Amino acid sequence: SDSEALKVMISGAPASGKGTQCELIVCKYGLVHISTGDLLRAEVAAGTEIGNKAKEFMNAGHLVPDEIVTAMVAARLSCKDVKQKGWLLDGYPRSSAQAESLEKMQIRPDVYIILDVPDEILIDRCVGRRLDPVTGKIYHQNFFPPETEEIKARLVTRPDDTEEKVISRLNIYKKNAEAVSSSYSSITNKIDGSRPKEEVFKDVESLLSQLQQDKVKIVKAG
């Protein structure tokens, strides 16, 4: 590609911190954040046809059928801002069929980040997660409590964040992880996501800044 804009994929188990790192990445690099989980939750909240189809699967902690998710991602990736600013794909691809769909569309990232977090930490992170429906910001009742009482009063939990459903989501993730990541083995960067979020972000930052410098050089040279 002749563009300097970064193309980043971030993956990892449920509650490994993808959304949290994406907030920080968007803030520093201005990439367009495309989270299939967020897009689907917005469709559910708006009561659209896609949302009504996706709802049962999501609430049960299962994957939504590939066709639905792939059409949604393809539509978002084709928007003009994505070409200009670069993209940050979060939660997609999640199956080998989804990875193949991206190959067919000739969509490849510059880097594939895996946030590596042990299972026993994931359950606590999920069960304690709280979301601000106004700002979209991600909190945790113990690790990242809200800044004010006003925010605290409006926080919501996700219906798929019970211990039982987290275990189901984790099993599905493990079943698919290798098939998906094998498509990107040459550009994979595994980062220890069990540390505090600022430390995790330091690693993400040095990776992306290096990549950005390399891309600028290639574009100028070409």
Q: Is-catalytic flag, 169?
A: yes
Strand partners, 89: 9, 34
Interface mask (CB under 6 A) for ligand AP5, residues 19-38, using x and -? Answer: xx---------------xx-
Beta carbon of residue 222, minimum distance to ligand AP5 (angstroms, whole number): 33
Write the secondary structure of the chain as one string of H (helix), E (strand) and C (coil).
Answer: CCCCCCEEEEEECCCCCHHHHHHHHHHHHCCEEEEHHHHHHHHHHHCCHHHHHHHHHHHCCCCCCHHHHHHHHHHHHCCHHHHHHCEEEECCCCCHHHHHHHHHCCCCCCEEEEEECCHHHHHHHHHCEEECCCCCCEEECCCECCCCHHHHHHCECCCCCCHHHHHHHHHHHHHHHHHHHHHHHHHEEEEECCCCHHHHHHHHHHHHHHHHHHHHHHHHHC
* Contact flags string 119-148 toward ligand AP5, x per CB under 6 A: ------x--xx--------xxx--xx----
Is 18 an active-site residue? yes
Which position among 76, 125, 129, 165 bears the catalytic label?
A: 129
Catalytic residue among 7, 41, 130, 169: 169
Of the pair 96, 212, the CB lying nearest ligand AP5 is at 96
Give the x/- contact pattern for ligand AP5 in 144-183, rule: CB under 6 A. x---------------x--------x--------------
- Cβ proximity to ligand AP5: between 31 and 215 the closer is 31
As a whole number of angstroms, the distance between CA 212 and CA 204 comes to: 12
Q: Answer yes or no whether residue 51 interacts with ligand AP5 by CB under 6 A.
A: no
Q: Which stretch binds ligand AP5 (CB under 6 A): 55-63, 149-157, 178-186, 208-216?
A: 55-63
Rounded Cα–Cα distance for residues 108 and 132 (Å): 32
Least separation in angstroms between CB 216 and ligand AP5: 29
Q: Minimum distance from CB of 215 to ligand AP5 (Å)?
A: 26
138: which residues sit within 8 A by CB, 6+ positions away? 19, 20, 23, 129, 130, 131, 132, 144
Residue 191 near ligand AP5 by CB under 6 A: no
Q: Just list the catalytic residues.
A: 18, 94, 129, 158, 169
Binding site residues, ligand AP5, CB under 6 A: 12, 14-20, 36-37, 40, 57-58, 61-64, 69, 91-92, 94, 98, 125, 128-129, 138-140, 143-144, 160, 169, 196-197, 200
